[in-house]
Structure 1
Amino acid sequence: MRIRPLAVDALVATALTSVALLLGPEAARQGQNPLDAAAYALVVLAHLPLVLRSRVPLLVWCLVHATWLVYIALGYWPVVCSFGPLLAVYTVASLRPGALSVPCAALMGGVWIYAGVVNHTDSWPSVLGQAVVYPAVLWRFGVVARRSAELTRQLRREQAERARREVAEERSRIARELHDVVAHHMSVISVHVGLARFVFDTDRRTARGALDTIDATGKEALDELRRMLMVLRADDDGAPAGPMPGLARLDEMAERVSAGGVPVALSVEGTPRPIAPGVELCAYRIVQEALTNVLKHAPGAHAEVRLSYEPHQVTVSVTDDGEGAIPDRARTDGGHGLLGMRERAKLYGGQISIGPQDQGGFAVRLTLPTAATTLPPSPGHRLCG
């Protein structure tokens, strides 16, 4: 439960007033004029404004010191009524800039010296020392408190801004994942729906094969979407969501795209090895997006996917010999396709080139840095389709 600042200030003011009233009888024992009803009334008046010290610190300082001056001018022991002024100086220093707090601290020192004059003190070194040390120490504590509060507010602003950036980045990441999953699988399904409709009455076997591919592709899309949702909902006690697709599943992707009418040749060079899951997913998604673009914009073309494991990096390229819709495939203005490829590559410190080839067709080439850990070799070349 959070206590309101006004309630805290009220408690502080009540506590200081109580201490001052309990100290009142000590004046006579110190050889000072005993406090009468008027003195006690001034003591209360000098501390009551402290209830509003956080809201109007300068006004409270003025009221407290004015009451203290009247109290001193009437010849009463200054110490009894000094708690309010001391706290008022600290409050001004903690809430207002030095241009206002320094004069307030200096004026309090002047009032302290005036009290020594009125009481005809014989201990001027002590009075002068208190007039300098008390305001200076309280002012310093107040300045430290103000700077700490400013740093706390700045830290909160930075944390809020960081949280907003992280939310925006996470939304962008989710949008890319959804685009990659939905666009690829829906493109494959759309191609096979058209094929099944075209041959449904003349070639039932081909139509059945297309429907089987649609069924398998739809299930795979649902599995990936379900996996993404499990990752988003997962907590420390939740069940693992399972691995995201990686380079080991490129052959499945190649078969699926080949069944959609775009023969895909997949070749693997070098010794496959485990790499960071994020890097592997990045390469998988870029290959997926590139093949999806071939399905959309260059139907009937032949595509080639080359995956190369090198000592400190992995390189993957997707090329095709299609001729159609090159301008559409090169667009990056606001979509999640080719722009998403570049964002993924940049996120993992990779380099990517996207564009038409001189001899015709389109090419996507990606290089990602990796750790050099080896695994047993796998087949070096495969032709799907």
Structure 2
Amino acid sequence: MHVRAAALARRMSEIDPRAVDTVFALVITGLMLTWAATDHSGPWRRPDTVAVTLTCLANLPIALRTRAPFTVLGVCSVATICHHALGYQADLNNTSTLLALYTVAARRPPRVALAGTVITMATWGWASFLAASGLEVLNGAQSVLIVTAAWAFGTRTRRLAERNGQLAELTARLRLEQEERARRAVSEERVRIARELHDVVAHHMSVISVQAGLARYVFGSDPGTARAALSTVADTSHEALEEMRRLLALLRVDPGTDGNGGDNGVYDPTPGLAQLGQLVERVRVAGVPVDVEVTGSVRRLNPGIELCAYRVVQESLTNVIKHAFPARAKVRLNYGGDELVVTVTDDGSPSPTAAGGGGHGLLGMRERVRLYRGTVLAGPLPGGGFEVTATLPLSSPNDERGDG
């Protein structure tokens, strides 16, 4: 039953409204002519050619009501008033003016609708004045009520159409804003990926450079050390390629699928504090002794916070290899109640670039920490060496486990 009703409504919506108006105009004209020909009550003149012509003029223009509503109302009203003034039946030809008034109120500004209401009220008032003796007041009150109802319905339809137009405009604007936010999110993601690539390349290439240099230096005198250095170079380069492959794959397909609904195998978990031991071991193999100290209540954090802390340590240790080698480094993690403090210190002699806090590494580190409303302090220590301290605000443990 509901399917049939929906199908009928769909077919009705496909019908041209102008065809409906034409049929309605012909039907109402036929009814008025039939009424005039069959109703001989009252002191009215019998219908003749003039009456038929005026009846047609008072009703047939309804077919054009959506194209020129005010003109149609004027023609219908003038024809109706002439029809009644010539002594023909005053009950006829009044319905068309109501429909024309409704159309004017629904499609034209309020001031035009007000003028149309005055015209329609005059037409119906004239018909009421010509009504049977003793019923003028009752017919007049009825006319006022009917004309006001037609104007009110039309006005409500116009306001509803205006609201629908405003909603459509707002919907289009929201869609454009969503598209703009999506484009901005893509741009921000590309910037994040570029930062990730910088961190990966900078850290791993620093390790590779140091180990390759060591292997070349001891290649003839200590083959075992050279082989160990080359093995570290191979492992580090393989890990760098895997991580770069994972990041670059984000630019090609949706996360978690290969485009055919299967797992592509390149989306390994993003680095976090759980992988800190592997990072430290690589740096130790590169020739920089690293001590790790963890204080506070160790717990699982938001993946984004963990990745940020991991990158701070990675970038700081990379800077030690590049700018302070040989040196000894120390990594301290302090899990507080509402913040995580990451500190990396070394006892080497930093280059002017590192001492001044410049370079893309520290800039990227500050930008990354700022995304999580944190702060970074970096600078030389009074007794020698360099220190980087990043403070990352934490949510409640429940929020952290639920994020990401």
TM-score, normalised via structure 2 length: 0.72
Give 2:348's aligned residue: 322
3-state DSSP of counterpart to 1:308: strand
| Larger Rg belongs to | 2
Give 1:139's aligned residue: 155
Are residue 353 (structure 1) and residue 377 (structure 2) matched? yes
2:298 to 254, 272, 280: 272
Contact 1:105 1:136 in 2 (8 A): no
Are residue 107 (structure 1) and residue 133 (structure 2) matched? no
Q: Deviations over 1:208-244 (max 9, x none)?
A: 2222111111121223234445666225865483422
Structure 2 portions without partners, runs of 5+: 1-12, 37-46, 84-92, 130-135, 399-404
**How far is 1:295 from its partner?**
2.3
Q: Quote the Cα distance in structure 1 between the aligned partners of 2:256 and 2:105.
A: 50
Q: Deviations over 1:229-285 (max 9, x none)?
A: 566622586548342222122121112123223332222234532222222112111
1:287 to 313, 321, 327: 313
Are residue 45 (structure 1) and residue 64 (structure 2) matched? yes
Q: Quote the Cα distance in structure 2 between the aligned partners of 1:200 and 1:292.
A: 25
Structure 1 window deviating more from structure 2 (203-212 vs 118-127): it is 118-127
Q: Deviations over 1:169-211 (max 9, x none)?
A: 3223222222222222222223333333444444433332222
Q: Name the count of aligned residue pairs.
A: 342
Output the amino acid matched with 1:233. Answer: D
Cα root mean square deviation, aligned: 3.3
Are residue 18 (structure 1) and residue 42 (structure 2) matched? no
Correspondences of 1:155-304 after superposition (within 5 Å): 155-228=174-247, 233-235=254-256, 238-239=262-263, 241-304=267-330
Q: Sequence identity of aligned pairs in percent?
A: 39
Q: Which has the higher contact order (CA 8 A, sep 6+)?
A: 1
TM-score, normalised via structure 1 length: 0.75
Contact 2:128 2:140 in 1 (8 A): no
Give 1:53's aligned residue: none
Output the amino acid matched with 1:234. Answer: P
**How far is 1:38 from its partner?**
5.1
Structure 1 window deviating more from structure 2 (307-316 vs 205-214): it is 307-316
Are residue 129 (structure 1) and residue 150 (structure 2) matched? no
Output the amino acid matched with 1:196. Answer: A
Q: Quote the Cα distance in structure 2 between the aligned partners of 1:91 and 1:180.
A: 64
Give 2:39's aligned residue: none
Q: Deviations over 1:329-355 (max 9, x none)?
A: 65568x4x3233233323334333233
**How far is 1:307 from its partner?**
1.6
Q: Quote the Cα distance in structure 2 between the aligned partners of 1:156 and 1:138.
A: 31
**How far is 1:305 from its partner?**
0.9
1:289 to 1:120, Cα distance in 2 relative to 1, 3 A: same
Structure 1 portions without partners, runs of 5+: 1-7, 50-62, 93-100, 374-385
Q: Quote the Cα distance in structure 2 between the aligned partners of 1:196 and 1:88.
A: 92
Output the amino acid matched with 1:114. Answer: A
3-state DSSP of counterpart to 2:122: helix
1:80 to 96, 103, 114: 96
Q: Quote the Cα distance in structure 2 between the aligned partners of 1:117 and 1:372.
A: 78
Contact 2:346 2:385 in 1 (8 A): yes
**How far is 1:138 from its partner?**
3.0
1:280 to 1:85, Cα distance in 2 relative to 1, 3 A: same
Contact 2:101 2:151 in 1 (8 A): no
